[in-house]
Amino acid sequence: MINKIIYAVIGFFMVTLSYGQDYAEINRKFDDFSKIKKGLNDVMKTDVSGVTLYDFINSIAQEHQLNVSVDSNLNDPVVNSFFDVTVKDVFTFLVQKYDLDVDFVNNIIMFKKHKEVKIIPKKVAKVIDVTYNKENDFLSVKLENDSIPNVVQAIIDKSGKNIIMAPDIKNQKVSAYILNRPFDQVIEMMAKSNSLSATKDENGFYLLEKNNQPALTNVADKTTNPKNKAQKTTSDTPGFFQVDLNKSGFLDVKANVADATSLIEEAADKLKINYFFYNKPENEKTSLQVDNLTFDDLLENIFKGKKYAFKKQNGYYLIGEQVTEGLRATEIIQLENRSIESVLGALPRVFSEKLEIKEFVELNGLIVSGPKTTVDELRVYIKQIDKVVPMVQIEVMIVQYNKSYDIQTGIKAGIDKSNIKPTSGVLFPTADVNLNGSSVNNLIDAFNGLGLIKLGKVTEAFYLNLQALENNSIIKIESTPKIATISGHEAKLAIGETSYYFEQTNQLINSGINNNILQSGSWKSTDANLSVSIKPFVSTDENVTLNISVEKSSFLARAGATAPPGKATQKFESLVRVKNNEMILLGGLDELQKENSGSGVPLISRIPIIKWFFSSRKKSKSNSKLHIFIKPTVVY
């Protein structure tokens, strides 16, 4: 071990010295070349960043009148600052830093990427581990994927016995581990375990060839039993399989519609694995060609989609049907980040068919019972969906704005003998006065003393109604509720009132003598609400998709005392995407009403100024707006 370290240190210093000598030689060549090309002795100042090595060398050569040839593959970015240094020093620095090769051809300097010479280590022939004891004719072989010509040569050299190989097996590899057994028996078992056959003739020669028989004859016999001859099998023949143990200790398996039980037994024998069959996988066939397989991988792939399973316990494997008691597993799988209530419905059907699954709400988990491999697969699936479900806090600001005005003016006069009333009414803040005949006559008398014109009297049944009314109103209603819900679940908010109406039912009863009507009824309710329904969906970038539904309804006048009230409804639905903590405005539910009407004496009611004495007019305008502000906040 110490010698290896010393050799490594010496090698390191030798490599370092060789590189140092190379760079010293390059520096010397630049010094010699600078005597011919004075531009190499020029002092330069430069500060570069992000320029490729190719462009940098060419720009220096162009500025200092030098002939260069630069490999176009030199795309390394250069970031350097040089002040008061010669061109040859810069070139030497670039050659060392970027590991370049530089050549001088006449007056041209050539720069190219240094190519490392790879030293391919010589392959050392593997020593075939074969021993032979001449005293008792015992042979020992320790083979692992070794070439059969090398194995045969080693056995011949050790034992002095002649072994002949068939031409079609010279490229085959063999593996065997047999200690201190008779020579003929070792040859027989080595051939059998590698799909070969071995025969011994009367001269003592051994012949190794492809296995053409289902059962090998003992090589100690000089002849083979003709009844044991069988058709030659290849990798394309149904039922063929071959299991080898490679250098890494894994299995190399080739099988074509092979019997699963025989394949498992052969693989277990190669790996020296203990196993127990509860039920042999009868009539199960498998085809594969895979290298570097473990025994667990082999079993898992053979039994995938089948009714068989395996379980490792106390150093040996239990193999059988999934429902077998020794192979069935019962476990509780608990969730850490989300509730168990909605998980059962989200499981794929393959789990519910193979496993018995029940919710355990108190422990926030699932109790599962069934094949161990399926239980493990379910555990992996549960872990993938056991994520923190974000909660969304939603701030809703509802702003309702109503503005209206109403003007009513006019004079009404007439004669009504049946309804003679005293003078009454209100002057302030509204003008709505009813004058009877006496009051009108008193008013006429007051005007008669002011001029030449004398007005006549009115009858006692005469009345005069003077009306001047103006209403202005501005109403602004604001509400700021806050609601919260889990991503993917709906949150609802409703504000409103309930009104009741009477619904009467009439039923005709025929008693045979006369018809009677049975009346019955009940009070029913109807609602007028401002309702908001929001369902949020949170994405991985914390953007929130909101499915919003808003409905605003209000009561109108009733058609009768017991009739249901009328209802005006405004409704909209929207699907929007909002960033976390950003506010959006949803509105547009605006309502504008205008009215300008009047009644009066034909023609006269249209004359300016005079029309105010012979008509009544009404002018109104109302404006209603509804705006909703929504701000989602994601909380984990």
* 442-472: pLDDT as tens digits: 656 665 655 555 555 656 655 556 666 666 6
Tell me: cis bond preceding 429? Omega within 30 of 0 counts: yes
Cα–Cα separations (whole angstroms), residue 477 to 232, 398, 586, 627, 628? 96, 8, 16, 11, 12
Residue of 327 and 539 predicted with greater confidence:
539
Residue 431 dihedral angles phi and psi, to the nearest 5°: -110, 105
pLDDT tens column, 258-293: 888 888 888 888 888 888 888 888 778 888 888 888
Residues 169-195 have a mean pLDDT of 84
Torsion angle (degrees, nearest 10) of CA 204, 207, 213, 218: 30
User: What confidence score (pLDDT) does residue 37 get?
Assistant: 80
User: What confidence score (pLDDT) does residue 11 get?
Assistant: 45
Averaged pLDDT score across all residues of the chain:
77
Report whether pLDDT(149) > 80: yes
Please choose, from the candidates 126, 249, 131, the residue with its C-alpha nearest in 3D space to the C-alpha of residue 186: 131
User: In terms of residues, how long is the chain?
Assistant: 636
- Rounded Cα distance between 188 and 219, Å, is 6
User: What confidence score (pLDDT) does residue 225 get?
Assistant: 42
Residue 495 dihedral angles phi and psi, to the nearest 5°: -130, 125
Cα–Cα separations (whole angstroms), residue 557 to 56, 229, 415, 571? 88, 107, 33, 21
147-162: b or e for each residue (b if 16 or more CB lie within 10 Å)? bbebbbebbeebbebe
Cβ atoms within 10 A of the Cβ of 183, count? 19
User: What confidence score (pLDDT) does residue 105 get?
Assistant: 81
The tokens describing 251, both together, are 């299995």
User: What confidence score (pLDDT) does residue 523 get?
Assistant: 81
Residue with tokens 């504008």: 592
Highest mean pLDDT among 95-99, 340-344, 536-540: 536-540
- Rounded Cα distance between 360 and 362, Å, is 6
Q: Is 398 exposed, middle or buried (0-12, 13-18, 19+ CB in 10 A)?
A: buried
- Rounded Cα distance between 284 and 302, Å, is 9
Angle between the N-to-C axes of helices 53-63 and 87-97, in degrees from 0 to 180, rounded to the nearest 10:
170
Residues 136-162 have a mean pLDDT of 87
User: What confidence score (pLDDT) does residue 16 get?
Assistant: 40
Residue of 53 and 607 predicted with greater confidence:
53
Question: Which residues are bridge partners to 530 per DSSP?
Answer: 495, 552
- Rounded Cα distance between 494 and 533, Å, is 8
Residue of 275 and 124 predicted with greater confidence:
275
List, in order, residues 6 or more apart from 619 with CB less than 8 Å away. Answer: 406, 407, 595, 596, 597
Element (H, E) at 346: none
Residues 567-592 have a mean pLDDT of 80
Report whether pLDDT(6) > 50: no
CB 274 within 8 A of CB 316: yes
Report whether pLDDT(217) > 60: no
Report whether pLDDT(311) > 60: yes
User: What confidence score (pLDDT) does residue 216 get?
Assistant: 36
CB 222 within 8 A of CB 200: yes
pLDDT tens column, 186-207: 888 888 888 888 888 877 888 8
